[in-house]
Amino acid sequence: MVGLLVMAMFAAAVAVVAQVKLPQAEELQLSSYICAADVAAGNCSKSTAVAKLSQEEDRDYVQLEDIPQVVVDAVISAEDRGFFEHDGIDPAGIGRALYRDLRGGGVSQGGSTITQQYVKQTYLSSERSLSRKIKEAVLAIKVEQRMSKEEILEGYLNTIYWGRNTYGIQAASRGYFKKDVQEIGLQEAAYLASLIRAPGSADAAKPEQLAEASRRRQTVLDAMLEEGYIDQAQHDMVSAIDLTSYVNPRESYRLTTTYWGMSPDGVGPNQYGMEYITAYIQSEVKKALMSRGYDETGAEAEIAAGGLRIYSTIDLNMQPIAYDSVYRNTLVDPATDPSAGMVAIDGEGYIRAMVGGRDITAQNSFAQNNFAVGNSVGRQVGSTFKPIALAAALQDGVSPEKTHLPAPAEREFPPGGQNPCDHWTAHNYSSEDPATGSLDLFQATAESSNTAFAGLMAELGPPKVIDMAGKLGMDNTDMTACLPTVLGSEGSSPLEMAEVYSTFANRGIHREPTIITRIDKVDKDGVATPLWVWEKQEQQVLTQTTADLVTEALVGVIDHGTGHAANIDKPAAGKTGTTSFNRDAWFVGYTPGLTAAVWMGYPEKQTLPDCNPDLAPDPEDPDTCAPQIPPMQGILGRTSITGGSIPAEIWQKFMVLATAGQDAEFVMPTPEQARSGRQLGDGGGYSDETTTTIVDEPSDPNPSSTTSSPQNSTTSTTENTDPPIPPSFPFPTTTSTTRPRPGGGGGSPP
């Protein structure tokens, strides 16, 4: 009867195991990686990445063959000495664990086999109940029937939690030792194996847990000696090593970890602005995945835990040059200096460098805003908008040489005709140079004459210029169709302005910029599946001749105009921009293969110390002492900061190094092309009675200041109009290829 009963129980157990189906294992959360432009497709990994993205579980999957044998030996000794002999459960091991627990000492192994622990982590919850233990045992047997011992061990080592938010042996090795698992030896392996049972109570970096951590490591070493994995000499050598000598201090867990661009010790502040870039890349990856059918939640989950390999366009040689040009060599004092943003785009539309801010970890409300991309609301672009109007005129068949526009010190534009808005008075900066009455388009651009470009806007009409802005890459959705728009009253970002000017550099081809070229999803076996690949988006929006003529005009800006501080001793074109009261200063320029845009200004409104109503009245508020964007006056050894001063100098510092070894030349238009086309010059029929001194934006960084008003005002404006600025900023001498131009007015000295 006893025999029959045993047989019946055995048959029942066999029937239960046979009927139980192995559940579908949940997909492991795997960290994602961002790689720079130097990494070819298929080669992005932790060892080649510039940043890691993770969720609550920080995990990198490694194959068993890449895990050192000493790690396997330590884990088996600590957790399941009979692993290679049992069939999923080990009754003898359960009895041995119970006996040792009752005695209260020895090398504790617990009652669960490695297979059972793997089952619990993969298929079950951590609930403590008899039913769960029974199910765990049954599934362990089932797993042993389906998987080899090596597969189970690999899955186990990559699944379990090791403390410090690390899951899997690779993340644990990085978390405790800052080493890949392939680099660790006996001392690290013994400590990691000792953490498996309760990692939260044996962190050697915590003084109150050091004794327990040392005791646990010793038990693992004892077990390895008993099993013959190490000899007495190895045992004694590691036992004598202080754990604190090789276990790194615990760091605050971060969902985003930057590998490249950190201080030499790996724990200091970001030096090259990579954290701003990483955050921007994440937002662009999200857009890319959503374009492939992911919803917002699914895209975010893939980025954080989908094992993505993200290939970026960032140039690791160019990025430090850009950051240093802005913050290490120019704006060196975070307490007093303004902020700045910078973007560099190559001829293919690839974003090669991006400076979003000084330090994303700084304790202020604007530290995490990326000044390079503007986030949602940009800053007024000033005279950097004028080449857009120039392009619209040239594309419309206007001759840049034959067209001469009145360029007085100020000019009235009453409503009517091409001015659908209020009465407006355009102003230039005062200058000691005498006026000669009019300027051709080349001269007007080099000297950045406000009144000449206001007349050009009146001749063309705002709709043509606004349409051209959209074609070149500027968001013109809500652009105001009023004349002051030509002076840069609209907001933008360095990225957008670099996109606009790169169209000129590309001889009229607009290329949508990108910072990512490819997104692959890599599974635990290392198999990569492409999710998204960049497809170049380009369109010829200007004729080559039009683009070349714009380039010739912008070469003149650097050669003998307001931007001579941007001289890099090779062919270069660009434009300065300064808004009213010197609140924003820009320089945007390019060589034949690289375009860069620099913005500079204070990011947020402040209450000015002296509350001087004549210094910077706020057009939004009659109380002139209300918080407002501070003017950049009396700083950095300058009376006032203009686009032709510090921003042009930053651009020059960057481009000299970034284009070293590049000697490409612009394709310049012929004299016949510069003279061909129709002639403008009546200024739209508006009065030009006042013809005093000109020009707007001096190369001298200490211009005089005048008053400003909103664009639909009846009062005057400065070098650039300055309509109300939003309450906060949420992102917060060359070798001349320009022919001499006859005639023209005064301007900045060469």
Question: Residue 95's pLDDT is what?
Answer: 60
Looking at residue 607, its pLDDT comes to 72
Average pLDDT over residues 235-255: 90
Per-residue pLDDT at 742? 34
Full-model pTM: 0.80
Q: Per-residue pLDDT for 379 more than 60?
A: yes
Mean pLDDT of the 344-351 span: 98
Would you place residue 501 in the very low, low, confident or very high pLDDT band (cuts 50, 70, 90)? very high
pLDDT at residue 238 greater than cutoff 50: yes
Residue 700 has pLDDT above 50, yes or no: no
Tell me what the mean pLDDT of segment 646-662 comes to. 97
Mean pLDDT of 579-585: 92
User: Which contacts of 181-187 are long-range, i.e. CB under 8 A and separated by 24 or more positions?
Assistant: 181/62, 181/66, 181/67, 181/68, 181/71, 182/66, 182/67, 182/68, 184/68, 184/70, 184/71, 185/68, 185/70, 186/70, 186/74, 186/230, 186/234, 186/238, 187/238, 187/241, 187/246
pLDDT attached to residue 679: 92
Per the DSSP assignment, residues forming a β-bridge with 748 are none
Instruction: Identify the band that residue 266 occupies on the pLDDT scale cut at 50, 70 and 90.
Output: very low
Residue 296 DSSP one-character state: H
User: What average pLDDT is seen over the chain?
Assistant: 83
Residue 133 has what pLDDT?
73
pLDDT of residue 683: 47
Res 126: pLDDT? 62
More confident residue, 67 or 57: 67
pLDDT tens-digit map of 429-482: 654 344 557 899 999 999 999 999 999 999 999 999 999 999 999 999 999 999
657 pLDDT above the threshold of 50 = yes
Q: Which pLDDT does position 374 carry in this prediction?
A: 80
| Neighbour-count burial of 637, counting CB atoms closer than 10 A to its CB (0-12 exposed, 13-18 middle, 19+ buried) | exposed
Helices and strands of the chain, counted as H and E runs: 21, 24
Q: Residue 556 — pLDDT band, cuts 50, 70, 90?
A: very high
pLDDT at 714: 31
- At 10, the pLDDT band (50, 70, 90 cuts) reads low
Does 736 have pLDDT greater than 60? no
**Ranges 102-116, 393-407, 507-521, 574-588: which has the least confidence:** 102-116
Q: Please check whether residue 725 is in contact with residue 380, taking contact to mean a CB–CB distance below 8 angstroms.
A: yes
What confidence score (pLDDT) does residue 687 get? 45
pLDDT average, residue stretch 525-537: 94
Determine the distance from the C-alpha atom of residue 6 to the mean position of all C-alpha atoms in its chain, rounded to a whole number: 68
pLDDT in tens, 180-210: 999 999 999 999 999 998 999 999 999 999 9
Name the helix (H) or strand (E) containing 460. Answer: helix 450-460
The encoded tokens of residue 258 equal 């930057």
Which pLDDT score, from 0 to 100, does residue 647 have?
Answer: 98
Q: What is the C-alpha separation between 653 and 416, in angstroms, rounded?
A: 46
Share of the chain above pLDDT 90, in %: 61
| Res 253 pLDDT > 80 | no
Tell me what the mean pLDDT of segment 722-732 comes to.
33
Buried b (16+ CB within 10 A) or exposed e, 521-541: bbebeeebeebbebeeeeeeb
Q: What is the pLDDT of residue 8?
A: 64
Torsion on CA atoms 418, 424, 428, 430, rounded to nearest 10 = 150
Cα 615-619-623 angle, rounded to 5 deg: 75
Average pLDDT over residues 536-562: 97
Span 380-390, average pLDDT: 97
Rounded to an integer, the average pLDDT of 513-528 is 94
- E-strand stretches of 372-467: 379-380, 404-406, 410-413, 424-427, 438-440
pLDDT above 60 (res 496)? yes
Predicted local confidence at residue 33, as pLDDT = 95
| Average pLDDT, integer, range 529-553 | 97
Looking at residue 339, what is its pLDDT? 93
Which segment of 1-15, 60-74, 498-512 scores lowest on mean pLDDT? Answer: 1-15
pLDDT in tens, 295-336: 999 999 999 889 999 999 999 999 999 999 999 999 999 889
**Residue 370: is its pLDDT beyond 80?**
yes
